[in-house]
Chains A and B, each alone.
Chain A
Amino acid sequence: MKTAQGIPLDYYLWLSAALFTIGVLGVLFRRNAIVIFMCIELMLNAVNLLLVAFSNYYSDASGQVFVFFIMAVAAAEVAVGLAILMLMYRNTKTTDINILNRLKW
């Protein structure tokens, strides 16, 4: 139950669970859309860390390639998401997600 560096795999499981939970907490806790975006990035990173840990544990490079693709998708997601946020700010002059609950301007 140890990775190549002698650290138990369980520790990485717990660390990833903690980081993912903090990301979920941020999405539920805040009203600023930009901070919610950052918390989504945090959740993606928790999953990435777990994938790398398992890839190291099983000595399989496929997991790390998967992380590579997740990074590409995250970059695309952030670019489009922030563009949408800019558009939203231009129309409502705020980044408060409670303004968006009507789904119209």
Chain B
Amino acid sequence: MTFTNNLFYFLSFVAVLSALMVVLSKNPVHSVLYLIITFFAIAGHYVLLNAQFLAAVHVIVYAGAIMVLFLYVIMLLNLNHESETHKSTLMKLAATISAGLLLVVLIGSIRGSEQMMIQPQQVEVGSVKDMGRVLFKEFLLPFEISSVLLLVAMIGAVMLGKNEEEGKNAS
């Protein structure tokens, strides 16, 4: 139990610290790299929560696919310099205060909600077997619809990325 607690503290520390560095680092490429560290820490949390399937999918989808997409776009736009414009100090202060107020509201709403929860019996969920059973029995229709969503997103991305000049010449 002590080991899992220590692991939880370590992963939380890494996740929060690198999430802060995503916001604070000047270079967008560094932001992406810190975000990858955050995603790996969250994947570690999933393993800690006994959701091995989701941990694997999280690493594949986020660290593998989405972050490569981000890096690719940054490379394509040639944004890896630090000449980015920043908001004024007043705006940054206002943003920090607003975010801090949101944190206060969230913690205030979380505190005092403990007595509403009941402790149910513990059974194992989260393995590939259990996930597959739930996914393909109760959630079969949403699963199929999400494939249509991905297809639509792919077509949309291709249509948006197409060069407009070529389209005009063709028509």
Which A positions have Cβ atoms within 8 angstroms of B? 1-7, 9-15, 17-26, 28-32, 34-35, 37-39, 41-42, 45, 48-49, 52-53, 55-62, 64-65, 67-69, 71-80, 82-87, 89, 95-96, 98
Residue pair A85, B73 in contact (C-beta under 8 Å): yes
Within 8 A of A (CB), among B11-58: 12, 15-16, 19-20, 22-23, 28, 31-32, 35, 38-39, 42, 45-46, 48-51, 53-54, 57-58
Which B positions have Cβ atoms within 8 angstroms of A? 1, 4-5, 8, 12, 15-16, 19-20, 22-23, 28, 31-32, 35, 38-39, 42, 45-46, 48-51, 53-54, 57-58, 61-62, 65-66, 69-70, 73-74, 76-77, 79, 84-87, 92, 94-96, 98-100, 102-103, 106-107, 110, 114, 117, 119-126, 130-131, 133-135, 138-139, 142-143, 146, 149-150, 152-154, 156-158, 160-161
Question: In whole angstroms, how far apart are the Cα atoms of A49 and B44 in the complex?
Answer: 11
Question: In whole angstroms, how far apart are the Cα atoms of A49 and B15 in the complex?
Answer: 11
Secondary structure of the B side of the interface?
helix
